[in-house]
Amino acid sequence: MSDRFGISLESGHSLWLWLLIAALAALVLWSYRRTWPPVGAPYRALLICLRLAVFTVAAWLIFQPVLTWSVETRRRERVAVLLDNSASMRLPASAAGGPDSSSRVELALSLLGGLHSDSLSALYTFGDRLAPLTRTDSLGSTPSGRTDLAAALRQVIAPGAPAWDRIYVLSDGAVNSGEDPTALAAALPPLESVIVGRTPSAPDLALAALSQSRPAYDNEPVELELSVAVNLPPGAHSLPSGAAPVVDFQVDGSPVASLRLDAGSLSGRFIGGQVKLPPLPEGEHVLRAVLRPLPGEWTERNNERLLILEVARGRHPLLLVTDAADWDFTFLHRALSLNQDWAVSALVLLGGELHSVRSQDREGRFSAGRLPDDKELENIELVLLHGDLARLDRSFLERVAARAARGSLAPVLWPSVRLDPSALPAGLAACLHFASVPAPLVPQPARDIPCRLLPDNRFGLAVQAGDEELPPVESVMRLPGLAPDVVPLAALSGAASGLAADPHGAPLIVVRDHDGVRSATVLGTGLWRWHMLSQESPGQDIARYERLWETLAGWLISGRRSEGGTLRPERNVFQWGEAVAFSAPGADASDSLTLRLSLVREPEGPGEVPDSLPSLISSSPDPGQARRVVLGALTPGVYRWRVTAENPAAEARDYGGLFAVESYSPELAVVQPDTTLPAALARATGGGLTDSRAFSGRIGDNLTRRRVRHSLSLAGESWLYFVLIALLSAEWILRRRRSLA
């Protein structure tokens, strides 16, 4: 109904309007004080009224009057309902828990039974993504990843979305992904948080973390680390007497070990432990770890984890070869040998003669040795060539070059004297990092120029850079120019190097990832001085020399070109509700192929048969784009995958492996509903916080009042001018009838 009315003037003040009307009224009365010929009083009064009406309307139009009025309307609120569909909402809704308890998501759905099905309400589910939900849809058993409430709210209020009067969020409050949603409070309508779920009244254990302590090899025990989250009911400070977490381990379906954890070692909410499994054969193995449930445990859903164990044939073999066992070579050998996952072999060629080869062990002791044959070289992952490279055995260098060209070996070249690229085999010279093949390079003294590590991280090679200077080296080779795809890791400090064209200074260590081959070149001598920093400043973490070589060697051997293609799972184990994705991060010959990805879910028990999933076709990506295939969330289990080239004439052969989807999510480790963030968000938006037990009424039944303001500019209304003309015409006609002058 209309309950407010007003009038305003767009031009001038109302006082001037009334003064003008008064002046015009006086003028009309004066002009009609007498007429000729005379007329009766009623006739003259009619003429006066007509002229007064004309002048009054004209005066109002001059001042442009505007009529305003408002109308109050009532309707049901336009509401958006966001239902948490993350993993934690599959936990029991009751305080007692147990397998027969309905889940939190089922309880939340029961609260939506009276939600209106019209244009004023919309229902969404959210986890790591927002999705509309109809009343007939089923949420199923697979959650929607981690809880990212901020991302869901951004989509609900995005431009083009309805103007919501209120937003309801039904959740257990376990928001653990994305940005802080309270940062969006200013852009949100009132938000009502409905907390679903009860605080457990029984103890609960969760196998929160499971990982390998170190890489596994076929002749050594497999070392695992694990962590058990202990959730105690209110008022309890320890597990019941006699209760202790016990974890059983199965590998490929066979029991291999059990671990009993000390309940007395409870630190905060977690109990940690370590276990050694018996040695496993080379290959991929499925490890299943199951936490035995406590008597009356609140839920067993979070008691199992999966792990794909990759057991290698042996440690990563690294070969160091030199014809000059100087300090650089000695300290390099020591630095690489510190990594227990690498099998470092060192050969010293005395006088460049093949019959004068000495082998050096981890402790630096020498014994008779020889250059590796083809079979032995085939197993080596990194070869470092040091000294006078032109004096090294030619046939050995050619075999190294052939392996490097196939992308199955990472070469490191460290000349300590004059470097003549033309004296090297063509395949090995191609591994050098020059823009063009230079003339022989000669080391130049650099004893007074400090060095530094560089922060360039184009290859994801995390070398610890910093502004602190490192000791100077003995010599450096000045270069004519580096190839465009070469990244320097260390250099002489700035302009003091004498190479103004290089903003970093003369490079000392450069790396390259070219055509599937990772390589490195060291262009200076005397890097062993960097090692001495740790000797001069004991107790300080400045062992940059060891970390540099460990990081560099690890990056080089991790880039061995995969045979048959690079499209592989982004992880070995995906969590419950997480989207499974395959990708090929680096350029490879197989990127030009159309690939077929086939999946088979392995049977979980006797009598079951493998479940083949529909194959996916991955076409060649656009130039410069990485290949990536997203499968979405899959049912928990172990999957065997295989990639096949669709082109029958393709050289790339089939390849495959295993990955697992576990029935665990980090959201399952914290079982108590959390009101902290929902309460803050509701308070910041003017909404409220309600427990599901206290929630009454139907969502969207509230009425909203809205006052609609209307306005009308009379100066723009054509009918008013017709009225004015009609009044003038009426006065003229009446005057003509009496022949008034």
User: Has residue 184 got a pLDDT over 70?
Assistant: yes
Check residues 466 and 358 and name the one with the higher pLDDT.
Answer: 358
- Residue whose structure tokens are 């260098």: 397
Question: What 3-state class would DSSP assign to 332?
Answer: helix
Q: Say which range, 160-164, 249-253, 278-282, 367-371, has the weakest mean pLDDT.
A: 367-371
User: Has residue 142 got a pLDDT over 70?
Assistant: yes
User: Has residue 412 got a pLDDT over 90?
Assistant: yes
Q: Identify which of 48-57, 173-182, 662-671, 713-722 has the greatest average pLDDT.
A: 662-671
Say which DSSP state 333 is in: H
Alpha-carbon distance 512 to 504, whole Å? 17
Q: Is 124:132 a contact under the CB 8 Å cutoff?
A: yes
| The model scores a pTM over 0.75 | no
Alpha-carbon distance 271 to 734, whole Å? 107
How wide is the angle at C-alpha 289 spanned by C-alphas 283 and 292, nearest 5°?
160
Question: Would you tell me the crossing angle of helices 41-62 and 718-737 to the nearest 10 degrees?
Answer: 150
- Mean pLDDT within 203-217: 90
According to the model, what pLDDT value does residue 606 have?
Answer: 77
Question: What 3-state class would DSSP assign to 343?
Answer: strand
User: Has residue 116 got a pLDDT over 50?
Assistant: yes
According to the model, what pLDDT value does residue 251 have?
Answer: 95
Alpha-carbon distance 690 to 682, whole Å? 10
Tens-place pLDDT, residues 591-647: 677 888 999 999 987 778 888 888 888 877 776 677 888 998 999 999 999 988 877
Tell me what the pLDDT averaged over the chain comes to.
Answer: 83
Q: Say which range, 54-68, 267-281, 633-647, has the weakest mean pLDDT.
A: 54-68
User: Has residue 651 got a pLDDT over 70?
Assistant: no
Taking alpha carbons only, the member of 246, 203, 241 closest to residue 98 is 203
Residue 423: CA count within 13 A, CB half-sphere? 13
**Is the backbone peptide bond immediately before 215 cis, with ω within 30 degrees of 0?**
no
Could you tell me where the beta strands, DSSP code E, fall in 58-148? Answer: 65-76, 79-84, 121-126, 130-132
Say which DSSP state 435 is in: S
Beta strand pairing call for 568-569 and 580-584: antiparallel
Tens-place pLDDT, residues 689-707: 998 888 766 676 677 666 6
According to the model, what pLDDT value does residue 500 have?
Answer: 38
Contacts of 140 (CB under 8 A, 6+ apart): none
According to the model, what pLDDT value does residue 136 have?
Answer: 55
Check residues 357 and 168 and name the one with the higher pLDDT.
Answer: 168
- Mean pLDDT within 498-508: 59
Contacts of 570 (CB under 8 A, 6+ apart): 581, 582, 583
Alpha-carbon distance 111 to 440, whole Å? 81
The pLDDT-based confidence of 34 (bands split at 50, 70, 90) is confident
Phi, psi of 191 (to 5 degrees): -115, 125
According to the model, what pLDDT value does residue 564 have?
Answer: 43
The pLDDT-based confidence of 433 (bands split at 50, 70, 90) is confident
DSSP class per residue in 400-427:
HHHHHHTTSSEEEEEESS-B-GGGS-HH
Q: pLDDT above 70 covers what percent of the chain?
A: 88
User: Has residue 499 got a pLDDT over 50?
Assistant: no
According to the model, what pLDDT value does residue 515 have?
Answer: 75
Alpha-carbon distance 533 to 257, whole Å? 45
Could you tell me where the beta strands, DSSP code E, fall in 323-421? Answer: 342-349, 357-360, 366-368, 382-387, 410-415
Beta strand pairing call for 191-195 and 689-691: parallel
According to the model, what pLDDT value does residue 190 have?
Answer: 93
According to the model, what pLDDT value does residue 64 have?
Answer: 78
Alpha-carbon distance 422 to 441, whole Å? 11
Neighbours of 252 (CB within 10 A): 14
Check residues 662 and 431 and name the one with the higher pLDDT.
Answer: 662
Q: Is 161:56 a contact under the CB 8 Å cutoff?
A: no
Q: How many residues would you count in the chain?
A: 741
Q: Identify which of 121-125, 585-589, 637-641, 666-670 has the greatest average pLDDT.
A: 637-641
| Residue 526 Ramachandran class (φ > 0 left, ψ -120 to 50 alpha, else beta) | left
Alpha-carbon distance 148 to 177, whole Å? 5
User: Has residue 655 got a pLDDT over 50?
Assistant: yes
